[in-house]
Structure 1
């Protein structure tokens, strides 16, 4: 009768090798463990080469120990990245209720494992399975679609929009819905537009330079571009110091036609470069009314002579009366509420310049819906007129 071949577990092999090192004698160890010295020597040779990865078990590939560690770390990293990706995409559906959350899981089940999605998003796998078997009524499907779209618009526009602007955006997409309905669903979804914060106004009007009368007189609407431009300057706090933002806005479409960020309050770093940008972006008409506050940056000879060169009519707010320049003040209010105050830290100068440029050029002048334009974006308004 043939002798039955013994099978050794991975742990036995590794322990036998370690014991042989401790005994410092292969023969004694082989006798003690009742295995052949030749077999133990073979195991020792394998262990010297592969270390802790020497005996992975039947059917598994032998790898170097360091390679195994790297593989396991890479696997952990890959799983962490997958979970983060799911969380980023799915977290916005949690406030919308189980239907929206399970719908997200259902739509992404071919891309991500259902179990991991449920675990990451705090959902029950068994409840999800029951949900997939229950038919959804047309009314429930419509409400779900509305909530999903409201949430999508809310986050697409960086949480800046309240119910009025979201309603306009939904109507543009073909939904028949009232502001009251949007407000109701936003409360259910716990979606709140970013809170307004007060900001400090800094205008140096204590000078002996000539100041123009308030010709604009709070007439903030005009029927043609380059009829009236309004301008103002505000401070932006950054890491360890301040920057100063100057804007020039055309009252026709509320577009910021010129702007500049400077590190000082001189005319050459505020009103003058902003005006130069404005005349490059939009043709100046003779008699253009240029309205500002009474600050020295607008009243000095360097700037007024530039306005005279372009045959502009000067207008200035009354002393200590910010409402006379309400459009510029409103822009700064929006900028600080929607961008500056939402930063988690004080930005470096380069970072802040990039953020403001993106806000003005890509958000305010293109996508943002303006109440003065019947909640149209500037691009939509100009396309219709």
Structure 2
């Protein structure tokens, strides 16, 4: 796939700036996570700050002193809350070890870079001197190796947001030069209490009861593609928030399972799916003849959407009515999204949910999350690997 200049939608820019503000990371770090030039994120952030500068409050004189006192009290409270949070995390992680002193010492050793040793010993009701006495004794080399490997597995599991099971953990460790059997990883994950969420049944969002023309099923459940921009699939799902629903439309390239276009709106109108298609077109700039597959929802059968596909010179394909497996790739993606972000229940307001989904798609899913169908590579890494000359 040849390189091309990307055009970023206003929605993408807005979400990138929100990610900088909410995560408190540098513009350079966010740009690296999104795979774009740092200058773009800096410029978008400056434009965002210029728009909001007029409404910012000014503090002078006594107001500054009062604010400083409040900040000091707040920092003290935050420190106390942090200690309480750490104690709760220690008890949660070490719950199964409370009656096994040796395992407690192993737990303290594995987490000594994460929590203070004294705090862990006090919380788990063992003596600090006992821990150091245990630490000085030579241990069985297999126990030491398992302890070190468990630390690496926990790190991978944490960086995957708790979503990787033994196969994906094995792939990550292999990239780091550690050849470990899947059975051993499974055993150590079980001993460490590392669990993976399971997918729930997918529910359809679109309405296929309409009088618009319906396209033939050209995809016919063939979810393979030999090159980028050969087959795109698309669909809509709903996400609950404390303020009501927010609807997400995405476009996936079947070659790499990469999400090349997305849009989020409060309403389920045709503009939602057109916005996702527009982002995909600007991001990928496909040639004519791309196969575009969706269900028979009224949004995809509408005149506005069919005209957008004609401008793209794409071949429209639609699932058979009532056949959910005709668009299984999209259903699988939405099930993964909701399972890994726990979005079967509201996680915040609409803005919080938008930020969460944007960061998951653009930073984690496209660039980091490993797919078994791609040889346990992320979509971006898979495309980069396929683009290299043999």
Distance in 1, matches of 2:205 and 2:315, equals: 24
Q: Secondary structure at the match of 1:376?
A: coil
What is the CA-CA distance between 1:218 and the residue it aligns to?
A: 0.9
Which has the greater radius of gyration? 1
Matched, 1:98 2:104: yes
What is the CA-CA distance between 1:80 and the residue it aligns to?
A: 2.7
Match of 1:321 in 2: 323
Match of 1:245 in 2: 248
Instruction: Report if the CA contact (8 A) 2:208-2:297 is conserved.
Output: yes
Distance in 1, matches of 2:74 and 2:231, equals: 61
Match of 1:206 in 2: 209
Q: Secondary structure at the match of 1:341?
A: coil
Larger mean CA deviation between 248-257 and 153-162 belongs to: 153-162
Deviation by residue 1:12-50 (Cα, 9 ceiling, x = unmatched): xxxxxxxxxxxxxxxxxxxxxxxxxxxxxxxxxxxxxxx
Matched, 1:80 2:86: no
What is the CA-CA distance between 1:77 and the residue it aligns to?
A: 5.0
Deviation by residue 1:236-263 (Cα, 9 ceiling, x = unmatched): 1222421111000000111100001111
RMSD across aligned positions (CA): 2.7
Match of 1:63 in 2: none
After superposition, the Cα gap between the structure-2 partners of 1:346 and 1:92, relative to the gap in structure 1 and judged at 3 Å, is: closer
Distance in 1, matches of 2:156 and 2:88, equals: 16
From 133, 149, 153, the equivalent of 1:150 is 153
Match of 1:360 in 2: 361
- Residue ranges of structure 2 left out of the alignment (5+ in a row): 1-69, 98-102
Instruction: Report if the CA contact (8 A) 1:218-1:324 is conserved.
Output: yes
The residue correspondences of 1:296-311 to structure 2 (distance < 5 A) are: 296-311=298-313
Instruction: Report if the CA contact (8 A) 1:250-1:256 is conserved.
Output: yes
Q: Which stretches of structure 1, 4 residues or longer, exceed 4 Å deviation after superposition? A: 73-79, 84-93, 104-108
What is the CA-CA distance between 1:137 and the residue it aligns to?
A: 3.5
Match of 1:232 in 2: 235
Distance in 2, matches of 1:168 and 1:193, equals: 16
Larger mean CA deviation between 129-138 and 201-210 belongs to: 129-138
- Residue ranges of structure 1 left out of the alignment (5+ in a row): 1-69
Distance in 1, matches of 2:291 and 2:74, equals: 64
After superposition, the Cα gap between the structure-2 partners of 1:186 and 1:342, relative to the gap in structure 1 and judged at 3 Å, is: farther
Distance in 1, matches of 2:334 and 2:352, equals: 18
Larger mean CA deviation between 81-90 and 325-334 belongs to: 81-90
Q: Secondary structure at the match of 2:236?
A: strand
Distance in 2, matches of 1:306 and 1:131, equals: 69
What is the CA-CA distance between 1:372 and the residue it aligns to?
A: 1.6
Distance in 2, matches of 1:262 and 1:167, equals: 38
Distance in 1, matches of 2:246 and 2:371, equals: 26
Q: Secondary structure at the match of 1:247?
A: strand
Taking structure 2 as the reference length, the TM-score comes to 0.73
What is the CA-CA distance between 1:175 and the residue it aligns to?
A: 1.2
Match of 1:330 in 2: 332
Matched, 1:347 2:348: yes
Instruction: Report if the CA contact (8 A) 1:256-1:360 is conserved.
Output: yes
Q: Secondary structure at the match of 2:245?
A: strand
Deviation by residue 1:134-157 (Cα, 9 ceiling, x = unmatched): 013432221111111111111111
The higher-RCO structure (CA 8 Å, 6+ apart) is 2
Instruction: Report if the CA contact (8 A) 1:233-1:245 is conserved.
Output: yes
Q: Secondary structure at the match of 1:256?
A: strand
After superposition, the Cα gap between the structure-2 partners of 1:174 and 1:227, relative to the gap in structure 1 and judged at 3 Å, is: same
What is the CA-CA distance between 1:346 and the residue it aligns to?
A: 4.5
After superposition, the Cα gap between the structure-2 partners of 1:242 and 1:373, relative to the gap in structure 1 and judged at 3 Å, is: same
The residue correspondences of 1:257-276 to structure 2 (distance < 5 A) are: 257-268=260-271, 270-276=272-278
From 274, 280, 285, the equivalent of 2:287 is 285
Distance in 2, matches of 1:239 and 1:174, equals: 45
Distance in 1, matches of 2:237 and 2:361, equals: 15
Distance in 1, matches of 2:92 and 2:382, equals: 31
Instruction: Report if the CA contact (8 A) 1:102-1:131 is conserved.
Output: no
The residue correspondences of 1:26-105 to structure 2 (distance < 5 A) are: 77=77, 80=80, 83-84=83-84, 86-87=86-87, 94=94, 97-104=103-110
The residue correspondences of 1:159-178 to structure 2 (distance < 5 A) are: 159-178=162-181
Instruction: Report if the CA contact (8 A) 1:236-1:244 is conserved.
Output: yes
